[in-house]
């Protein structure tokens, strides 16, 4: 591995992805960041001009891999990729527009990038692949059905990649992060609890990555909610879900 580690963060223009980019740059990593909003990417780059490379694109379009290939060339390779791009809104009336957008980002865009990164790491025989899923992956949700389903897809896909890496005997680490409520624009609602500040969430995510955890909850106490959600009987859960 190179003396200076290289990371790509997909979806780093704001929120958790942005703070992760800043923290890794401060650690001395070479950081490639992507996002839809060029001005926000450039704003981050100006803070760390010698550490950060940018590539502006929307993961719902058809050029994800070309953009990532370009970024890899400028970075000189990479050792770690974090998929932080994600979206989802409350869909009380089951809006097709909301559901389609959610699936395009959290399933189609996600799986193309994850598949590409895994195969890249398999060829170089090392790497670490991380996704920011959600505690919502635990069960269905009547307020945002597509969001919880798409996050379940991410979590289960990453479990499959973990098994595949072991079966191939490749030096590839797989980490799925499931945050609860984090103080970003994604946290919507009036009855949120255990809301984690972005900086705290990002630092806990980095610790989980460094420990090469297969699955980590952010903050750590959200594992309690995950267990309750998974084991709650339908007759109880369906009243509130």
* 237 is annotated as an active-site residue: no
| Model confidence pLDDT, tens digit, residues 36-50 | 999 999 999 999 999
55: Cβ contacts below 8 Å, ≥ 6 apart: 32, 33, 34, 41, 67, 68, 70, 71
| Model confidence pLDDT, tens digit, residues 59-87 | 999 899 999 999 999 999 999 999 999 88
Q: How far apart are CA 131 and CA 134, in angstroms?
A: 9
Q: How far apart are CA 24 and CA 33, in angstroms?
A: 11
DSSP code at position 182? B
Residue 233 has pLDDT above 80, yes or no: no
Q: Which of 147, 157, 162, 217 is catalytic?
A: 147
DSSP-assigned letters across all residues of 26-58: HTT-EEEEEES-HHHHHHHHHHSTTTEEEEE--
Reported confidence tier of residue 237, pLDDT bands at 50, 70, 90: low
* pLDDT value of residue 1: 41
**Mean pLDDT in residue range 164-173:** 96
Share of the chain above pLDDT 90, in %: 73
* pLDDT value of residue 68: 98
pTM of model > 0.75: yes
| Model confidence pLDDT, tens digit, residues 132-146 | 999 888 888 888 899
Task: Provide the CATH number for the domain formed by 6-240 in this structure.
Answer: 3.40.50.720
Angle, vertex CA 23, rays to CA 58 and CA 62, nearest 5: 10
């Amino acid at each position: 591995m190179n003396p200076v580690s290289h990371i790509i963060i997909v979806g780093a223009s704001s929120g958790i992805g942005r703070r992760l980019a800043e923290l890794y740059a401060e650690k001395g990593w070479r950081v490639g960041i992507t996002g839809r909003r060029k001005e926000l990417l450039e704003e981050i780059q100006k803070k760390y001009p010698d550490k950060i490379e940018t590539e502006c694109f929307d993961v719902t379009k058809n050029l994800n891999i070309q953009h990532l290939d370009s970024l890899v060339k400028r970075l000189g390779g990479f050792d770690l990729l974090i998929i932080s791009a994600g979206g989802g809104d409350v869909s009380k009336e089951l809006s097709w527009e909301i559901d389609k957008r959610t699936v395009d980002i959290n399933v189609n865009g996600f799986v193309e990038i994850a598949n590409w990164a895994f195969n890249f790491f398999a060829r170089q025989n090392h790497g670490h692949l991380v996704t920011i899923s959600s505690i919502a992956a635990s069960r269905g949700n009547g307020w945002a059905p597509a969001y919880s389903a798409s996050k379940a897809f991410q979590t289960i896909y990453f479990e499959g990649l973990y098994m595949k890496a072991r079966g191939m005997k490749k030096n590839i680490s797989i980490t799925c992060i499931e945050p609860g409520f984090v103080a970003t624009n994604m946290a919507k609602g009036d009855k949120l609890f255990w809301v984690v500040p972005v900086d705290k969430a990002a630092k806990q995510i980095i610790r989980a990555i460094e420990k090469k955890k297969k699955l980590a909850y952010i903050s750590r106490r959200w594992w309690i909610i995950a267990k309750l959600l998974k084991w709650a009987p339908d007759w109880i859960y369906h009243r509130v879900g």
